Amino acid sequence: MSSTVKSHKPHDRMAAYLTEDMGAVNRLIAERMASEHAPRIPQVTAHLVDAGGKRLRPMLTLAAAHLCGYTGGYHVHLAATVEFIHTATLLHDDVVDESGQRRGRPTANLLWDNKSSVLVGDYLFSRSFQLMVETGNLRVLDILANASATIAEGEVLQLTASQDLATTEGIYLQVVRGKTAALFSAATQVGGVIAGAPDAHVQALYDYGDALGIAFQIVDDLLDMQGDAAATGKNVGDDFRERKLTLPLIKAVARADAEERAFWVRTIEKGKQVEGDLDHALALLHKHDALIDTSTDARIWAARAVEALQPLPDHPVKTMLSELADYVVERIT
Amino acid sequence: MSSTVKSHKPHDRMAAYLTEDMGAVNRLIAERMASEHAPRIPQVTAHLVDAGGKRLRPMLTLAAAHLCGYTGGYHVHLAATVEFIHTATLLHDDVVDESGQRRGRPTANLLWDNKSSVLVGDYLFSRSFQLMVETGNLRVLDILANASATIAEGEVLQLTASQDLATTEGIYLQVVRGKTAALFSAATQVGGVIAGAPDAHVQALYDYGDALGIAFQIVDDLLDMQGDAAATGKNVGDDFRERKLTLPLIKAVARADAEERAFWVRTIEKGKQVEGDLDHALALLHKHDALIDTSTDARIWAARAVEALQPLPDHPVKTMLSELADYVVERIT
């Protein structure tokens, strides 16, 4: 299960190490996204699934199970479960955000319609539920049920917090835990649970996934403000245009003088944006070191992820997980 | 647990008989729809839950558990589960149908927005999942996971079948099983399973719920064509305007001559409807006995529901379930 080519990217090395299992996950996904009666379902799902993505979440489940010495087959079900939950939330997110692009391709809600995205998302969520029930492991079900509720709650919280300048870093963290970290931590945790790992190891896997997810999302929000569209598949300033209070913005708003505050009220709260506003917003972020401080926060969370691995047994996968946490923040330019 | 007032309506009598349990279900629903972080969630949910509805589905679960002699407490969890799934699908349905009214009140997507309806629906679905996991009964989880998938698949099928004159009565039945009967049959079935009922009784409960749900939906579709808005909370002809191929329409289309077919192609397939089209559609339904034949179908399914109860033990609840099936088709004028 090891690759002869040493890639710079830890998730590529992990994919190479887990290549057999990932093949099984992909086959299970293809099998379960089928629908005898409603061909629209595999069409919409394939559009997203084939577009690739890094399959990071299912890989985390497989990696955790390997790290904990699992020899059964249910980690494949759980990895597919996690990917289906992720795909379902992407479909619903694109409807909620009224997005037109995802992974460099038109979104499903644009290619078909919002209706299809809502209903196919529901279908994938149900399918994920069937997959996890098949494992017959109630603790795993409990973890994934709680993660699902945290995800949905985080999405609603993001909806109500968006456009609200009173959003604090604490609320941001809750939103991020919901929209990203809850599924990362559930993904790693269930890998340990299905392997019958001791509580301390399961806790370590949870902590790792949680910190990795938070670092990952902070970096994502940072790249939205400074990345280039070719590398990220997103346009710089999308979050600004959608009036999302991400961490760099929250920091800049907290440090704003009266005139700057008026700018944020107009552009974010009232949504009255004109030509040149994005450039001015970026200038304010620089002026207040909001981007530098945000990347420091991301590095702190990545370091916490590495540290969380400490109680776990030595294993090639452990090294890869550690490198993965470092790599997440390496994306910051 | 019995009422002194003898109501004409069997579901009122059942509600009176199950009043203590229904109180517990309502308390559990109120407790679990809360969200510490996102107040939008209980607002949206309460709008729907308080609007009443007959709470028919949770009552079916409680009734089935009583009928099978259950003395534990998890039937309350399962009843709340079923109501949450139902509420989640209503929220998503209203987005998909672009509805403005539900139970005589403006829909949540109109009062808040589509985003809130999508995300709060996801939250309730997750909550339902947590509730059912708490029962620790894997067979129950399996049934509800399968029902969820059937519901979602049915919704997608309805989406693609709508506006398609080639929709057959067979496809209609699949859609109806998905959108309505799957949750009815899961509701009755899990009541039996949690009570540890023998397989023959669980099967009887499934068959009853399935036939009752189909009868219920056929009547609903029939009332859309002949009911009055005050009694049904819907406007006559909503399905026609939304170009849904319901059973009366499918029958009329199957019996159409060339000129009539051109009318259906224009109004349903092409969606070019003008003043007077609904009246003409209703005239065609009458001409071809489509409404009479549809009500006959509904009565056949109601009779099947009554017959399905036969293997179950004698019990006051059994009589009420039987009367409920008769009552569903009594709504036909």
At B60-118, the pLDDT tens digits run 999 999 999 999 999 999 999 999 999 999 888 878 777 666 656 677 766 667 788 88
Count other C-beta atoms under 10 Å from residue A105's C-beta.
15
Contacts of residue A37 in chain B, CB cutoff 8 Å? 153, 157, 174
A257: three-class secondary structure by DSSP: coil
**Helices A169-176 & A138-161, crossing angle to 10 degrees?**
140
On chain B, the residues whose CB falls within 8 A of the CB of A122 are: 89, 92, 125, 151-152, 155
Environment class of residue A290 by beta-carbon count within 10 Å: exposed (0-12), middle (13-18) or buried (19+)? buried
Helix, strand or coil for residue A49?
A: helix
Percent of chain B residues past pLDDT 90, beyond the cut: 68
User: Which residues of A are less than 8 Å from B84 in CB distance?
Assistant: none
* pLDDT for residue B48: 67
Question: Which residues of chain A have a CB within 8 Å of the CB of B118?
Answer: 92, 95-96, 118
Assess A236–B contact: CB distance below 8 Å, yes or no: no
Helix boundaries (H) for A195-315: 199-226, 229-232, 238-241, 247-254, 258-264, 277-287, 290-308
Cβ-defined contact of A156 to B130 (cutoff 8 Å):
no
A164 in reach of chain B (CB within 8 A): no
Residue among B198, B196, B201, B207 at smallest CA distance from B311: B201
Quick check: A153 and B35 CB within 8 A?
yes
Separation of alpha carbons A44 and A84, rounded Å: 13
Q: Chain A contact for B35, CB < 8 A? A: yes
The answer to whether the Cβ–Cβ distance between B37 and A157 falls below 8 Å is yes
User: Do residue A115 and residue B153 have CB atoms under 8 angstroms apart?
Assistant: no
pLDDT at A275: 92
Average pLDDT, chain B: 89
Q: Is pLDDT of B326 > 80?
A: yes
- What pLDDT is stored for residue A218 in this prediction? 97
Q: Say which range, A225-234, B162-171, B258-267, B284-293, has the weakest mean pLDDT.
A: A225-234
Among candidates A92, A126, A156 on the partner chain, residue whose Cβ is nearest the Cβ of B149: A126
Is the pLDDT assigned to residue B133 strictly greater than 80? yes
Give the Cα separation of B119 and B99 in Å (integer). Answer: 17
CATH number belonging to domain A10-330 = 1.10.600.10
* Run of H or E including A123: helix A114-134
B92/A37 Cβ within 8 A = no
Of the candidates A226, A143, A225, the one whose C-alpha atom is nearest the C-alpha of residue A190 is A143
- Using a 10 angstrom Cβ sphere, with 0-12 exposed, 13-18 middle and 19 or more buried, the burial of residue A36 is exposed
Round to whole Å and give the CA distance between B261 and A261: 63
pLDDT at A230: 57
pLDDT confidence band for B1 (50 / 70 / 90): very low
Whether residues B120 and A157 touch (CB distance < 8 A) is answered with no
Range B22-37 average pLDDT: 87
Q: Distance between CA atoms of B251 and A317, rounded to whole angstroms?
A: 62
Q: Residue A41 has what pLDDT? A: 75
pLDDT at B324 over 80: yes
Question: Three-class SS of residue A232?
Answer: helix
Determine the pLDDT at residue B4.
47
> What secondary structure, in 3-state letters, does chain B show?
CCCCCCCCCHHHHHHHHCHHHHHHHHHHHHHHCCCCCCCHHHHHHHHHHHCCCCCHHHHHHHHHHHHCCCCCCHHHHHHHHHHHHHHHHHHHHHHHHCCCEECCEECHHHHCCHHHHHHHHHHHHHHHHHHHHHCCCHHHHHHHHHHHHHHHHHHHHHHHHCCCCCCCHHHHHHHHHHHHHHHHHHHHHHHHHHCCCCHHHHHHHHHHHHHHHHHHHHHHHHHHHHCCHHHHCCCCCHHHHCCCCCHHHHHHHHCCCHHHHHHHHHHHHCCCCCCCHHHHHHHHHHHCCHHHHHHHHHHHHHHHHHHHCCCCCCCHHHHHHHHHHHHHHHCCC
Verify whether the Cβ–Cβ distance B157 to A129 is below 8 Å.
no
Supply B137's token pair.
Answer: 């009964």
pLDDT tens for chain A, 333 residues long, are 444 455 678 888 999 999 999 999 999 998 988 877 777 777 777 766 665 667 899 999 999 999 999 999 999 999 999 999 999 998 888 787 776 666 566 777 766 677 888 888 999 999 999 999 999 999 999 999 999 999 998 888 888 777 899 999 999 999 999 999 999 999 999 999 999 999 999 999 999 999 999 999 999 999 988 866 555 556 788 889 988 899 999 999 999 999 999 999 999 999 999 999 999 999 999 999 999 999 999 999 999 999 999 999 999 999 999 999 999 998 776
When mean pLDDT is compared across A254-258, A312-316, B160-164, B197-201, the lowest value belongs to B160-164
Nearest Cα residue in chain B from A151: B123
**pLDDT value for A186:** 98
Cβ contacts of A118 on chain B, cutoff 8 Å: 92, 95-96, 118
Half-sphere exposure of B128 (CA within 13 A, CB side): 30
- Tell me: pLDDT of B260 over 80: yes
Say how far residue B30 (Cα) sits from the centre of its chain. 21
Q: Model confidence over A144-198: pLDDT tens digits?
A: 999 999 999 888 888 877 789 999 999 999 999 999 999 999 999 999 999 999 9
- Each domain of chain B, given as residue ranges in start order, spans 10-330
Q: How far is Cα B67 from Cα B312, in angstroms, rounded to an integer?
A: 8
Q: In this complex, which of A122, A146, A153 lies closest to B152 when CB atoms are compared?
A: A122
* Three-class DSSP category at A106: strand
How do B105-106 and A101-102 pair as beta strands? unpaired
**Identity of residue A236:** V
Between chains, do B125 and A130 touch, taking CB under 8 Å as contact?
no
- Say which residues have a Cβ less than 8 Å from residue A217's Cβ, sequence separation at least 6: A176, A179, A180, A181
